[in-house]
Amino acid sequence: MPYVNPQYLHFADALPLQSGAVLREYDLCFETYGTLNADRSNAVLVCHALNASHHVAGEYEGQSKSQGWWDNMVGPGKPIDTNVFFVIGVNNPGSCFGSTGPMHPNPDTGKVYGPDFPVVTVEDWVDAQARLLDSLGIDTLSAVVGGSLGGMQALSWTLQYPQRVRHAVVIASAPNLTAENIAFNEVARRAIVTDPDFHGGNYYAHGTVPKRGLRIARMIGHITYLSDDVMNERFGRQLRDAIVANAAEPPQQRPYRYSTQDIEFQIESYLRYQGDKFAEYFDANTYLLITRVLDYFDPASRFGGHLTEALRRATARFLVVSFTTDWRFSPKRSREIVKALLDNKRDVTYAEIDTPHGHDAFLLDDARYHGVVRAYFSRVAATLGR
């Protein structure tokens, strides 16, 4: 694949939001891979989750290790084949990777939005994505695809713009968050908001970054992305300085340090590293916003909680994928979506992939998982105009 470049589009028309607020004007940052065919029927939109971006696939020129977050899935000859499909990645408003977000100036005041950036929703994001497609001259998506929060966007596309989506691929997702999911989000938010460097969300003006809170938020997140199994397999109770004398032998452990603050176990080292890395690049206000996007999504709520009724509007064909050890968005939640679609006599393919990797599995290169997605997109490709 040739090097890729992010592109920007300015939208001068206000975007009305579910909250009643509006985003008066905004930029969207996006990337495309592959070529739009003559009848504009081969477009695939990839929706990102909490901390990803428009940079789905490929590399940036002169930047090694700049592969997109789903480079194992999207590209020439890959399961979502850019020799066949025209794939679009877009950064959602409120995020911190190029599209208008909390660190940008509010056109009403000329000052940085900070904590005043309006609370957006999955539905708002889908509306913004639909306008991007309008600008690109794409009426109908061959497919909309996403994992986790991205899967919520894919599902919402089929409800908000049923005529504009032929296929929806919903991976490791759920029709809404459980109380436990919301609880984890809330703890992460409290860690950020109560960090003295947060300054009520106006940390940009104070020249600070609430890194303590971001680190805690990311550590909590990471625990929920992994399964108990994979954590035991990768880290177990290994001490940080375990001495591996012979790869065939279990590592010989030095005695404990007996410290409450030093790193003792490998898992602690791993989590601290992940937290530190995240705090260097992720925006705290964005973290608050996007966890709320997750919390608020609940298409059944306007139908008295009846998901079957909520999904009646969907006319797309669906691929739904879940992972056995994903306890953040468990297979049970995917099956709820499948059941509601089947109740409506929709065309659904469902795959429950047996993997130890927990929620993270949707980003990983698992042969059975990729095989299912590849097979599905081959079927989609067979229906394309030339």
Residues of each annotated binding site for substrate? 218, 360
Choice between 158 and 176, CB closer to its own copies: 176
Choice between 129 and 176, CB closer to its own copies: 176
Helical packing angle, 179-193 and 211-225, nearest 10°: 160
Q: Which stretch binds its own copies (CB under 8 A): 3-11, 17-25, 56-64, 359-367?
A: 17-25
Write 304-313 long-range contacts (CB < 8 A, 24+).
307/175, 307/336, 307/337, 307/339, 307/340, 308/339, 308/340, 308/343, 308/344, 310/159, 310/175, 310/340, 311/158, 311/159, 311/337, 311/340, 311/341, 311/343, 311/344, 311/346, 312/344, 313/158, 313/159, 313/162
Q: Binding of its own copies at residue 39 (CB under 8 A)?
A: no
Beta bridge partners of 27: 10
Q: Binding of its own copies at residue 347 (CB under 8 A)?
A: no
Q: Binding of its own copies at residue 131 (CB under 8 A)?
A: no
Which residue from 261, 345, 385, 386 is in contact with its own copies, where contact means CB under 8 A?
261
Helical packing angle, 179-193 and 284-296, nearest 10°: 160
Q: Binding of its own copies at residue 19 (CB under 8 A)?
A: yes
Structure token digits, residue 50: 């909490």
Which residue from 7, 106, 178, 344 is in contact with its own copies, where contact means CB under 8 A?
178
Spatial separation of the C-alpha atoms in residues 169 and 349, rounded to whole Å: 9
Q: Binding of its own copies at residue 359 (CB under 8 A)?
A: no
Q: Which stretch binds its own copies (CB under 8 A): 44-52, 72-80, 144-152, 286-294?
A: 286-294
Q: Which of residues 263-282 bind its own copies (CB under 8 A)?
A: 264-265, 267-268, 271-272, 275
Structure token digits, residue 161: 């713009």
- What sign has the CA pseudo-torsion 383, 129, 63, 66? negative
Spatial separation of the C-alpha atoms in residues 301 and 167, rounded to whole Å: 24
CA distances from 185 to 179, 192, 284 (A): 10, 11, 13
Helix, coil or strand: residue 353: strand
- Active-site positions read 148, 326, 359
Q: Binding of its own copies at residue 304 (CB under 8 A)?
A: yes
Q: Binding of its own copies at residue 357 (CB under 8 A)?
A: no
Q: Binding of its own copies at residue 60 (CB under 8 A)?
A: no
Instruction: Report in angstroms how near the CB of residue 30 gets to its own copies at its nearest.
Output: 25
DSSP string, 22-67: EE-SEEEEEEEES---TTS--EEEEE--TT--S--SS--TT-TT--
Choice between 179 and 247, CB closer to its own copies: 179
Q: Binding of its own copies at residue 196 (CB under 8 A)?
A: yes
Instruction: Report in angstroms how near the CB of residue 327 gets to its own copies at its nearest.
Output: 8
Based on the number of CB atoms within 10 Å of its own CB, is 85 exposed (0-12), middle (13-18) or buried (19 or more)? buried
Instruction: Report in angstroms how near the CB of residue 369 gets to its own copies at its nearest.
Output: 23
Residues of each annotated binding site? 218, 360
Beta bridge partners of 10: 27
Which residue from 21, 36, 103, 132 is in contact with its own copies, where contact means CB under 8 A?
21
Instruction: Report in angstroms how near the CB of residue 158 gets to its own copies at its nearest.
Output: 22
Binding mask 89-128 for its own copies (x = CB under 8 A): --------------------------x--xx---------
Structure token digits, residue 91: 């950064």
Beta bridge partners of 143: 44, 167
Q: Which stretch binds its own copies (CB under 8 A): 161-169, 255-263, 318-326, 360-368?
A: 255-263
Residues that bind its own copies (CB under 8 A): 18-21, 115, 118-119, 176-180, 182-184, 186-187, 189-191, 193-196, 201, 212, 215-216, 219-220, 222-223, 226, 228, 231-232, 234-237, 250, 253, 256, 258-261, 264-265, 267-268, 271-272, 275, 285, 288-289, 291-292, 295-296, 298, 301, 304-305, 327
